[in-house]
Structure 1
């Protein structure tokens, strides 16, 4: 069965249908990693986005039960040059085609993903539709040019009810804006007593749990779409240790007065070099975001830069001088990898211990 990928600029790619038979519309992003495709497609930060894989041969090791980042994948679609029909790996339980169909995610294979990627890099993020072969191209292009991505993605991916992952160590509140399983896994591995709360949880409700620290998770979209979360973070700053990743990092920055801007085509991949400002050490990181914090906007705030991207100098991490809080734009939870920056979770644990052991003032 043939299928078309139609872009808002009028470009049309024809390929083979994989996954769900339904049509799908969304912003198209490109993922540059050679591995980690299962993690990216199940990452809540990819909510409603159509993910184009730049590596030509996808899921040669199949889909396995262990590497999911959420129970309910919400990617809008997937674009590949070639999807492996007979994967070879002892952990494999399904092909990409089978997994996409099971989770109602449409896909298209057999198109020139190199050409598509060059187009996105040149023109910036484009909206597109994975459509049936007989779709009216002119009508679809007109609809895409009027298409506005939804602003309630965090609501779609955040947990609806609070839950507890019992532990015997430091009590951590994880505010879920679209949290990857790997974040909870890293905290649990460090013996944290974990409470996962919905994104609309107020600062008062967080403090009622008397936590040793607060983890602000990753998630889709911009802080501008969840202003109530910005207010919550603003109230929490200075009251207890805070660690933000991805969207959580952006919320920390926005709550401190820094500016959030949308990137031309986002940054999605697993080989991005990031330099620690004070030590000069460079770590290779995984990234999945469409917004960033303007470095110049830190002036006049209580934030200071801790990490910068080696390639373009953009801001990748901050610490707060007015309270025990810090955050990073990249993904230190090492899924899909690499794990160079995994030690940042240890820094959060150390921050909680230091804060807890401070002498009582007054």
Structure 2
């Protein structure tokens, strides 16, 4: 594309309908038709292409709080997976001009090509305030002929949609077959990655730290993992309710009993919490965006982090406690400064740790990228015959 390419955005009607009956009228964006999902808001001001292609957003209609979306277009380098995963997309001002030297197309065209129904020209601040007050809820976007459906029929369709509570989406986003990404530079060893909705940047960060990255389907068993003779195991981010992933919890408990070093991100943090014997719960409106302040309890350092989660671990944030599942002492390592939500776990007697946020964040921030080095150091200590734990003080 040229550096500044204008695209026509037809003024066709569309409507966003929330589960509580609230309606927002606007204009069609992307594909035409109807889509249903959980309405959530993201506070990121950049990186919309990464957001759209993050598998953690499967089943969700994403409302962007940044008002101007689409100005840098889309390219083939920045996606976090092979496709767009959001169920729907809601923006205030969709750019009519694509102006970036890396752009290969417009966002509107890509949404249409991949069948993603969106809406533009709505008051995203008002939508966000509604979701903050009432909590995230089921929603639908209707455009084309579906925009003319009777209001009560649209609302009935929304209320018949899937509830994220109790929903296991891992099978929808995971790889169907194992694949391997070779290590770059000095090889450290092999890591088995359970793909629950993994992002491309995560795999890249593991590879550049010397790991042969074996990406496994979410159906993998403990025997599948042991057959690889890995030096460590990693659980990725992903969508859905961690309370509906018993098989992944049982698998992780087997990994921990084997003594394999473990690192989990986002959904992986929630599953480590469950494996250690803690519960999880649904947040009122979740954390999504790239400006979330998280404090490292040990150092007092505050990191600005990227988030995308609607569930959290229910664990005491004051002092180490015994793992209810019998894995020794565990501590909450990081806490969100906005609402005291658990943002990280350290196992003090076994080599396992996790964080709720995204240290692989693209397009940033990169405050937490050091956690991949921490994982690498844990594996090297294990290989050297030392007794590493999740506590890296």
RMSD (Å) for aligned C-alpha atoms: 1.5
Aligned pair 1:284/2:304, yes or no? yes
Report Cα offsets for 1:76-119 as digits up to 9, x if no partner. Answer: 01000011121211001111101101111111000111110000
Give the match for residue 25 of structure 1.
36
In 1, Cα distance between equivalents of 2:28 and 2:156: 23
Report Cα offsets for 1:147-178 as digits up to 9, x if no partner. Answer: 33362411000001111112243211111000
In 1, Cα distance between equivalents of 2:246 and 2:168: 12
Give the match for residue 161 of structure 1.
177
Report Cα offsets for 1:317-342 as digits up to 9, x if no partner. Answer: 01112310000000000223100000
Report the alpha carbon displacement of residue 299 of structure 1 after superposing the two structures with TM.
Answer: 4.2
Report the alpha carbon displacement of residue 44 of structure 1 after superposing the two structures with TM.
Answer: 0.1
In 2, Cα distance between equivalents of 1:152 and 1:253: 17
Across the two proteins, how many residue pairs are aligned to each other?
360
Give the match for residue 90 of structure 2.
79
Q: Give the secondary structure class of the aligned counterpart of 1:218.
A: coil
Q: Give the secondary structure class of the aligned counterpart of 2:130.
A: helix
Aligned pair 1:15/2:26, yes or no? yes
Give the match for residue 330 of structure 2.
303
- Is the contact between residue 286 and residue 336 of structure 1 (CA under 8 Å) also seen in structure 2? no
Give the match for residue 137 of structure 2.
126
- Is the contact between residue 306 and residue 364 of structure 2 (CA under 8 Å) also seen in structure 1? yes
Spell out structure 1 runs of 4+ moving beyond 6 A. Answer: none
Report the alpha carbon displacement of residue 59 of structure 1 after superposing the two structures with TM.
Answer: 2.1
Aligned pair 1:270/2:290, yes or no? yes
Give the match for residue 260 of structure 1.
280
In 1, Cα distance between equivalents of 2:373 and 2:280: 27
In 1, Cα distance between equivalents of 2:89 and 2:386: 53
User: Normalising by the residue count of structure 2, what TM-score does the alignment of the two structures yield?
Assistant: 0.89
Match of 2:345 among 318, 327, 339: 318
**Which runs of 5 or more residues in structure 2 are unaligned?**
1-11, 324-328, 388-393
**Which runs of 5 or more residues in structure 1 are unaligned?**
none
Give the match for residue 261 of structure 2.
241
Residues 2-11 or 262-271, more deviating: 2-11
Aligned pair 1:193/2:212, yes or no? yes
